[in-house]
């Protein structure tokens, strides 16, 4: 269906150079997930409307990772973001969190419990949700110690803007491995990856 002209006029633009910018964003997203606790920066050019409304890293990640086969769930109703996702990626919007392959969490202090998202199955653990969670900062919060694959010894992180129960819920999912949830924490252009294989100790 063709978008109405009024909708197209207000549409937030995507990547200026879709191929190059998606490749550059993917490299950062892959690197931070492979090296948990590392903070990367997605520095591609984006519309001013993006920078005013959403973390640039979250918007770039959605343009890079989602497509027509990956439903996206938005924690808060956001017509402008929903329209941009549909137009630029072809991804459908999920009505419920459990239907989503990707979810954008605008407020980590009020997000649903992790069992409200797809965890995959032992036969198909890849059929799980990836969460893009907006945080206020990567320093100044409760200190965390990360360990596991991709971390030589341990790594530290102290994000602000997550519910106190988040890390406890995530630890409880370890018993369901290889099922689980992969997370990206985003703040402005910065992003950190917390894959399901990472052990997180709250200090």
pLDDT tens digits, one per residue of 67-96: 999 999 999 999 999 999 999 999 999 999
**CATH, residue 155:** 3.40.50.11310
Does residue 5 carry a pLDDT above 50?
A: no
pLDDT of residue 149: 94
Could you tell me the residue range of the domain that residue 88 belongs to?
Answer: 16-202
Mean pLDDT of 109-131: 95
In a domain, 10, yes or no: no
Q: Is the pLDDT of residue 56 over 80?
A: yes
Identify the DSSP state of 81.
Answer: H
Q: How far apart are CA 175 and CA 192, in angstroms?
A: 24
pLDDT the model gives residue 6: 43
Domain contains 1: no
- 174 secondary structure, DSSP code: G
145: in domain? yes
In a domain? residue 8: no
In this structure, is residue 144 part of a structural domain?
yes
Calculate what percentage of the chain has a pLDDT beyond 70. Answer: 96
How many domains does the chain divide into? 1
Is residue 4, in this structure, part of any structural domain at all? no
Name the residue with tokens 């998202």: 117
Is 147 contained in some domain?
yes
Under a CB-based contact definition with an 8 Å cutoff, are residues 83 and 52 in contact?
no
How far apart, in whole angstroms, are the C-alpha atoms of residue 13 and residue 137? 26
In a domain, 119, yes or no: yes
Of residues 67, 60, 58, the one with CA closest to residue 90: 67
What is the pTM (predicted TM-score) of this model? 0.93
């Amino acid at each position: 269906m063709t978008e109405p002209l009024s909708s197209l006029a207000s549409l937030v633009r995507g990547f200026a150079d879709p191929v190059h910018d998606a490749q550059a964003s993917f490299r950062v997203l892959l690197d931070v997930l492979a090296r948990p606790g590392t903070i990367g920066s997605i520095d591609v050019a984006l519309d001013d409307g993006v920078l005013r409304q959403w973390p640039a890293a979250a918007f770039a990640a959605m343009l890079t990772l989602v497509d027509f086969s990956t439903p996206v769930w938005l924690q808060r109703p956001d017509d402008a973001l929903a329209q941009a996702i549909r137009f630029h990626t072809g991804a459908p919007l999920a009505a419920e969190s459990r239907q989503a392959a990707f979810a954008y969490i605008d407020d980590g202090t009020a997000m649903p419990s992790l069992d409200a998202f797809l965890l995959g199955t032992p036969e198909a653990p890849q059929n799980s949700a990836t969460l893009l969670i907006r945080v206020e900062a990567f320093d100044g919060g409760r200190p965390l110690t990360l360990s596991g694959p991709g971390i030589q010894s341990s790594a530290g992180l102290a994000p602000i803007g997550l519910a106190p129960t988040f890390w406890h819920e995530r630890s409880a999912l370890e018993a369901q491995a290889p099922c689980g949830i992969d997370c990206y924490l985003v703040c402005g252009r910065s992003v950190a990856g917390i894959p399901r294989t990472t052990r997180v100790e709250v200090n």
